[in-house]
Amino acid sequence: MPLGRGARMGLGFVGVAGLLAAAGLAMTMAPSEPPAAETDGSVAPSASASTEHRRDEALTDRAGLLAQGDAEALIQAKDALQSPSGSNQGESLAAEPLTQDQLNAWLDDLVGLGSGFRRFGPVDRSRVMELIGGALDRMTVSPVPDRWIEALPPSAELLTVGLADASPAVRAAAAEVLGRVWGWQPGTAIWPDAERTVATWKNRLHTPLVSLLDDAEPGVRLATVIALGKLPIDAMAEPAVARIADEVPAVRMQVLTSFAPRRDVLTDDEVLPLLFDPESPVALAAQLVLKARGLNDDLIGLAKLLYHPRADLRASAIAQIERREDIDPIVWLDRLSHDQDEQVRSQAMEALSRLASPDARRRVSEMAASDPSPTVRDAARRALDDLTADLPPLPGSPDLYPRAN
């Protein structure tokens, strides 16, 4: 369900707070790294198979320097991608389309970067990720030069290597670029073959990105949640929801912010426990999400009882649920019938047995067969026996035709 404007503004506020917190954590927790170029081989080989045939050809002067990890050449490569109008100060690289000469030079630079990526220091490797993102942005502006599709394979190779980089900053920078990739389309109409190429290019980047959800650095996990949250396909974005239980508050906050409008991906049951999050901004964000999804303060108060740390207060919600006529009691009682506390489950089972509903009886039958407590299983069986005894006789039953004495 799409959020209203006010809800988006509220969530945006707490989302910014989460991003700032995560940025601080990423800066303080990221391992210190020397600014010099690294040649220890900690980064996987980054050569693009699609450009392998060009390795034997003479590189341009700048591409040759990039292959050696030259930082000045990297600055020159960025300058070469700037808008020819020169009006780039404070503007995105995507302000104007690439010229054919710029794209030709960028394709050569990609070959050099593919060879020399691991020779750059961590700061410059992050800049390579940003440069790839900027070049892709420029290619979304019409008219795009004819050779645009040649830039996709080497860009994917470098982004994949960036996602596996030893530096958390590089991994986070690569994830940020991927967040823009999902909606990427060239600035021109394309044929089905080219559409399939673009789709394949995007798909190959998904698996290495998802692996960063378990990254040791919170800033990287947060960047990954943001990137997956921009993926329009629910099944492919859903892995990020697991970070709703992340130990870092900023990451939990970002899951709420990124998936607030996507109720089928981040369910209410996954949001409700965060109403008792130890960090008050996260708890507030959870409440804003639920309100945006249509729960009023009264229902949120009842939901809080279902997830209260105290078992007796969770059990106290049962009587309130039975009295209300504005909710589906089976949904709420079903949740309590799975409670970790035996007494809460037992009382929920009793309440379900009082409902004249096939769904309620089905849940009681499940508890009679599989509840972890033998006491609850026995009570559920007795409740089922009582329900069966109260049913009218079946057609043809002897009870319908009592014999005279």
Grouping H, G, I as helix, E, B as strand and the rest as coil, residue 311 is helix
Whole-angstrom distance, CA of residue 367 vs CA of residue 75: 66
Does position 49 have pLDDT exceeding 50, yes or no?
no
Q: pTM for the complete prediction?
A: 0.75
Q: What is the per-residue pLDDT for 82? A: 85
What digits encode the pLDDT tens for the residues 320-351?
999 988 888 998 999 999 999 999 999 999 99
Between residues 306 and 36, the one the model is more confident about: 306
Q: What is the pLDDT of residues 83-141, one digit of tens each?
A: 766 544 444 445 689 999 999 999 999 999 999 999 999 999 999 999 999 999 999 99
Q: What would you measure as the largest C-alpha separation in the chain, in angstroms?
A: 114
Instruction: Supply the DSSP string of 216-283, one letter for each residue.
Output: SSHHHHHHHHHHHHT-S-HHHHGGGGGGGG-SSHHHHHHHHHHHTT-TTTS-HHHHGGGGG-SSHHHH
Say how far apart CA 161 and CA 114 lie, in whole Å. 10
What are the pLDDT digits (tens) for 181-235?
A: 999 999 999 999 999 999 999 999 999 999 999 999 999 999 999 999 999 999 9
Q: What is the share, in percent, of the chain residues with pLDDT greater than 70?
A: 78
For 33-44, the DSSP string reads --SSPP-S--SP
Map 378-394 to HEC letters. Answer: HHHHHHHHHHHHHCCCC
Separation CA 26–CA 3 (nearest Å):
29
pLDDT at 349: 96
Helix 358-370 and helix 342-353: axis angle, to 10°?
A: 140
pLDDT of 239: 98
Q: 5-297 belongs to which CATH class?
A: mainly alpha
Across 25-50, average pLDDT:
37
DSSP letter at 248 equals S
Do domains 5-297 and 298-391 share one topology? The answer is yes
CB atoms within 10 A of CB 44: 11
Q: Which is more confidently placed, 20 or 150?
A: 150
243 and 255 in contact (C-beta within 8 Å)?
yes
According to the model, what pLDDT value does residue 111 have?
Answer: 96
- CA-based Rg of the chain, rounded to a whole angstrom? 29
Whether the pLDDT of residue 283 is over 80: the answer is: yes
**What's residue 387's pLDDT?**
77
C-alpha atoms less than 13 angstroms from C-alpha of 267 in its C-beta half-sphere: 3
Among all chains, which residue has been given the structure tokens 């972890």? 372
151-183, pLDDT tens digit by residue?
A: 999 999 999 999 999 999 999 999 999 999 999
Residue 386's pLDDT is what? Answer: 84
Distance CA 179, CA 342 (A): 45
Please list, in sequence order, all residues whose beta carbon lies within 8 angstroms of the beta carbon of residue 347, skipping any fewer than 6 positions away: 315, 318, 336
55-78 core/surface letters (b: 16 or more CB in 10 A; e: else): eeeebeebbbbbbebbbebbebbb
Q: How many residues does the chain have?
A: 405
Instruction: Reply yes or no on whether the pLDDT at 272 is more than 60.
Output: yes
Statement: residue 1 has pLDDT above 60: no
Using alpha carbons only, what angle is made at residue 160 by residues 84 and 213, rounded to the nearest 5 degrees? 120
- Looking up tokens 């394949």, which residue turns up? 200
Preceding amide of 143 cis, omega within 30? yes
**CA–CA separation, 281 and 70 (whole Å):** 45
Mean pLDDT of the chain: 83
Which tokens in the block code for residue 152? 């996709």
45: number of Cβ within 10 Å: 11
Domain ranges for the chain, please list them.
5-297, 298-391
User: CA 201, CA 81: separation in Å to the nearest integer?
Assistant: 22
Closest CA to 163 of 173, 151, 153: 173
- CATH code: domain 298-391 is 1.25.10
CA 235 to chain centre: 10
Cα-Cα-Cα-Cα dihedral sign, residues 57, 60, 61, 62: negative
